[in-house]
Amino acid sequence: MTDLFACLGGVPALPGAACRGRHDLFDGETTADRIAAERLCRDACPALGACRRWVASLPKSRRPVGVVAGRFVDPVRR
């Protein structure tokens, strides 16, 4: 299923990504969820560099919302 999403959305594989299987945290609705997701990315994700390069390559209008590459992407300000 992950490969299907990668093909459809142009998302790179990002092996070992800390967010894999944790959408509940990275798309969380509370500030505590957002802070925990940001911390997990910054402190423990081996794919952080590749993820940041991928996000930076996207037009702002195509960037995913929520915590992405250790940063919060606000849907209103994207």
pLDDT tens across 38-77, in order? 999 999 999 999 999 999 999 988 888 899 999 998 887 6
- For residue 6, being part of any structural domain is answered with no
Q: Does this model's pTM top 0.85? A: no
- Tell me whether residue 10 is in a domain: no
At 73, phi and psi to the nearest 5?
-105, 110
Would 2 be classed as within a structural domain?
A: no
The residue range of the domain holding 62 is 20-73
Enumerate the β-bridge partners of residue 67: 72
Please report the DSSP string for 20-69 in residue order.
Answer: TT-HHHHT-SSHHHHHHHHHHHHHH-TTHHHHHHHHHHS-GGGSPPEEET
Nearest to 34 by CA among 22, 25, 21, 43: 25
Residue 31 lies in a domain: yes
The count of structural domains within the chain is: 1
